[in-house]
Amino acid sequence: MLMLAQVANGQPVSQDLPAQDFSQPPGTEGREIAFVFEDGPLPQTTALLLDALKNLGMKATFAVSGENVEFNPGLARRIVAEGHELANHTYSLPNLKHVSPADLVREIRAADEAIVRVTGVKPRYFRATNGELSESLRSVVEGEGYEVLDCTLDSGDWRNPSSEKLMRGILAGAKPGSVILAHESFPKSAKSMPAVFDALAKRDFILCTVSAMHPPGPQQGHSATAQPSNPLPRDSGGSAN
């Protein structure tokens, strides 16, 4: 569960407030899909995506890096203010095939600290860079109190497709309950997304956050100021597979 703390002078107040409401309006159940936008926030693309979603009155999940949150704090706060969801996407976007468990913990905690400090939000989900996470590293993520965010449909935006090909692929693959992977770090594709959103809306899909489709159970609450309780694992010097 995400907790939103009041922010004064960019610093979260050390108190718990009611969780962000990611529920959908009555009568919209059964046509929800969720976009997960990775790698931001970025000045070239985040505002464009937020404007398009705002025009439709719809939401998305933004898997942000701690470093980019610090570089673009206003955009990070806008994501939260407009009712979207943040997910932890590491601090510096490393290739997780080449990090140790200890390195991953440092990345998660550094990103977590940056996100909470800038936005007052404690994310529920962790999204792996490139979506690649070994079972051992998945256990590390869960040990840090995060749920692993897996996507069910790859938009293929990273292949630099034409706008038409990007649209066709998403429309062909989208179905109720889809979690669609996309990126803020590919400006050409990001600029095509407003048209994709419009086409999906015309097909009666509701774009929402991942948490709106999968409400957390009563034991999955997060505090906006909670710190990981697990000690930093000992770094054996080897990299994870």
pLDDT in tens, 137-166: 999 999 999 999 999 999 999 999 999 999
Whose CA is closest to 75, among 108, 56, 49, 107? Answer: 49
pLDDT interval class at 63 (50, 70, 90)? very high
Residue 22 CA to residue 2 CA, distance in Å, equals 9
Residue whose pair of structure tokens reads 């790859």 in the numeric block: 154
The residues, any chain, with a CB within 8 Å of residue 5's CB and separated by 6 or more, are 12, 13, 14, 15, 16, 17, 116, 120, 121, 224, 225
User: Do 123 and 146 meet the contact criterion of CB atoms below 8 Å apart?
Assistant: yes
Structure tokens at 82: 């407009």
- The DSSP symbol for 86 reads E
pLDDT interval class at 216 (50, 70, 90)? confident
pLDDT above 70 as % of the chain: 78
CA angle at 106 for the pair 133 and 123, rounded to the nearest 5°: 70
pLDDT interval class at 67 (50, 70, 90)? very high
Instruction: Count Cβ atoms below 10 Å from residue 235 Cβ, excluding itself.
Output: 13
DSSP 3-state of 200: helix
Whose CA is closest to 108, among 84, 138, 80? Answer: 138
- Helix and strand numbers, DSSP H then E, in the chain: 8, 10
Residue 240 CA to residue 187 CA, distance in Å, equals 31
The residues facing 148 across adjacent strands are 126
Residue 153 Cα to chain centre, angstroms: 15
The half-sphere exposure of 224 on its side-chain side, counting CA atoms within 13 A, is 21
User: Quick one: pLDDT at residue 229?
Assistant: 43
Report pTM.
0.82
Whose CA is closest to 48, among 191, 158, 151? Answer: 191
pLDDT interval class at 226 (50, 70, 90)? very low
User: Quick one: pLDDT at residue 230?
Assistant: 54
> 144, exposed or middle or buried, with CB in 10 Å at 0-12, 13-18, 19+?
middle
pLDDT at residue 47 tops 90: yes
CATH of domain 29-213: 3.20.20.370
Structure tokens at 121: 């939000």
pLDDT at residue 31 tops 80: yes
pLDDT in tens, 164-208: 999 999 999 999 999 999 999 999 999 999 999 999 999 999 999
Domain boundaries, given as residue ranges, for the chain: 29-213
User: Quick one: pLDDT at residue 77?
Assistant: 98
